[in-house]
Amino acid sequence: MIINEASIGAVLQTTLPEDPVRIRETLAKARELKGLEAEDVAVLARTEDPELLEELFHAARWAKETIYGRRIVLFAPLYVANLCGNECVYCAFRARNRDLKRKALTREELAQEVRQLVEQGHKRVLLVAGESYPKEGFRYILDAIDVVYKTRSGNGEIRRINVNVAPLEVEQFRQLKEAGIGTYQLFQETYHRETYSKVHLAGKKADYQWRLTAMDRAMQGGVDDVGIGVLFGLTDWRFEILALMQHIRYLERNFGVGPHTISVPRLEPAQGSDIATHPPHAVSDVAFKKIVAILRLAVPYTGIILSTRETAETRREVLALGISQISAGSRTQPGGYAEGEDDQMAAQFSLGDHRSLDEVIQDVARMGYVPSFCTGCYRMGRTGADFMDLAKPGDIKEHCDPNALSTFQEYLSDYASPDTRQVGEALIQQVLAEMEGRSKVVSEILLTKVRAGTRDVFC
């Protein structure tokens, strides 16, 4: 059994009300950076006192900075189709939504989207499709990956494609791996079975177990970096986070490594969906910050992804609590980048952050974070268990810090506005001044190459 709802209920029922002594003991345990168990997570979820909340957030900030430093990886979602045979009541793509403008990009339309992203400065994308495909079937996704990798513009190209598509068979996952994807991402949406059945009314996605075991098949097919997540707002977030932990521990036991990333989207309005506009278990901003902070402490070496569902203000507030990847300049409809605007009659959900990539980068840099477009680990084979073997003793920073600076310099040299370039160059010099040893030497070598015109240098 992957998800044991009875044990989750028992943990939630037996956890005492807010206990300052136990909370502080749990935070001390979390600072060992060895992760937390279900009872620990439940204890932290009880935290409400402002002073204890700040201690929780402080611990999360410390863990994030210790493991990831100042790096924030940036990417863009790339919607290739919004065709879908599922009836998910929270999603604009659902099959019975007759008002949605359906579209599957042609190869040329997709290439045009990619050129738009490349010319903004993006280097990595998350390829997204509704859970039905055109007549080519799954081959449509493989062809789309091929188009993305082959499309270039000026100095730029997409160097890594992560994929969020419907659950697949093992052989199809093997084909995804052979196509050169990085991470396969899929959200269970809700781990609560009764809620799951209420919000997934028809289609293949109505099969809870088929979706839940997708990561098993992905890993069996050779995809060793997987990303999981919950759509917060469908049921009690405390239940969801404990179920998420059960899924993580299951993957660790059975495959030797847990998820590479966890995503934390909240329900946002979607065209024609009442439940998306009025979430049955709305997650407050304070609770959302707790979710991010608790996950950072519970699985300290797992990446946490924050999307443009959240407003710019919310994104600023939670970045320091454990976020390692953010999307920027997003569109959630096929063809949205070429169109240059959000089309709510074709989009999956409403965005909270409408800023351009350059605006996000300047904001992130002003906050002292280094925007990173690094794809080095994927291309050097530092994935799955190999990545974790480097991450846990802290060795991965020897690669990530120089690569973050070199890819940031690429962006500043090729795509940044004058104001962003000024802010970014100053940040790079500040970070270099604080670096020591091999990381500093390697960073200076890579930066010199980029400034001389060489592109795509990494270690």
Write down which residue in 65, 98, 117 finishes a domain. Answer: 65
* 45 falls within a domain: yes
Question: CA-CA distance, 296 to 306, in Å (whole number)?
Answer: 13
Report the C-alpha dihedral over residues 318, 320, 322, 328, rounded to 10 degrees: 60
Q: How many domains does the chain have?
A: 3
Strands 87-88 and 200-202: antiparallel
What pTM, to 2 d.p., does this model score?
Answer: 0.95
Token pair of 446 as six digits:
């890579």
State whether 415 and 330 are in the same domain: no
State whether 32 and 72 are in the same domain: no
268, β-bridge pairs: none
Long-range contacts of 417-420 (CB under 8 A, 24+ apart): 417/358, 417/362, 419/362, 420/358, 420/361, 420/362, 420/365
Token pair of 323 as six digits:
């976020």
Token pair of 215 as six digits:
């990561």
State whether 77 and 10 are in the same domain: no
What's 345's domain CATH number?
Answer: 3.20.20.70
State whether 125 and 229 are in the same domain: yes
What residue numbers bound the domain in which 293 lies? 67-372
pLDDT in tens, the chain (459 residues): 999 999 999 999 887 788 999 999 999 999 999 999 999 999 999 999 999 999 999 999 999 999 988 999 999 999 999 999 999 999 999 999 999 999 999 999 999 999 999 999 999 999 999 999 998 999 999 999 999 999 999 999 999 999 999 999 999 999 999 999 999 999 999 999 999 999 999 999 999 999 999 999 999 999 999 999 999 999 999 999 999 999 999 999 999 999 999 999 999 988 888 898 999 999 999 999 999 999 999 999 999 999 999 999 999 999 999 999 999 999 999 999 998 777 777 778 888 999 999 999 999 999 999 999 988 777 777 777 777 776 777 677 777 899 999 999 999 999 999 999 999 999 999 999 999 888 899 999 999 999 999 999 988
Classify residue 438 by burial, with Cβ atoms within 10 Å: 0-12, 13-18, 19+.
exposed
Q: In the prediction, which pLDDT does 84 show?
A: 95
* 121 falls within a domain: yes
Question: CA-CA distance, 342 to 332, in Å (whole number)?
Answer: 7
Question: CA-CA distance, 384 to 220, in Å (whole number)?
Answer: 13
State whether 303 and 251 are in the same domain: yes
Token pair of 394 as six digits:
């802290």
Hey, how many other C-beta atoms are within 10 angstroms of the C-beta on 246? 18
State whether 301 and 353 are in the same domain: yes
204 DSSP 8-state letter: G
* 377 falls within a domain: no
Question: CA-CA distance, 328 to 357, in Å (whole number)?
Answer: 5
State whether 224 and 177 are in the same domain: yes
Among 94, 115, 282, which Cα is nearest to 201's? Answer: 94
Question: CA-CA distance, 409 to 131, in Å (whole number)?
Answer: 37
- 8 Å CB contact between 200 and 87: yes
Neighbour-count burial for 71-97, b at 16+ CB within 10 Å, e otherwise:
bbbbbbbbbbbbbbbbbbbbbbbbbeb
H-helix or E-strand containing 26? helix 20-30
* 76 falls within a domain: yes
Q: In the prediction, which pLDDT does 233 show?
A: 98
Write down which residue in 65, 85, 117 finishes a domain. Answer: 65
* 16 falls within a domain: yes
* 383 falls within a domain: no
- 8 Å CB contact between 187 and 230: yes
The alpha carbon dihedral of 95, 182, 38, 264 has a sign of negative
How far is residue 408 CA from its own chain's centroid? 19
Q: In the prediction, which pLDDT does 147 show?
A: 98
State whether 147 and 10 are in the same domain: no
Token pair of 244 as six digits:
């998420």
Ramachandran bin of 76, using left for φ above 0, alpha for ψ from -120 to 50, beta for the remaining angles: beta
Write down which residue in 316, 341, 372 finishes a domain. Answer: 372
Q: In the prediction, which pLDDT does 390 show?
A: 67
Strands 152-153 and 156-157: antiparallel
Q: In the prediction, which pLDDT does 281 show?
A: 97
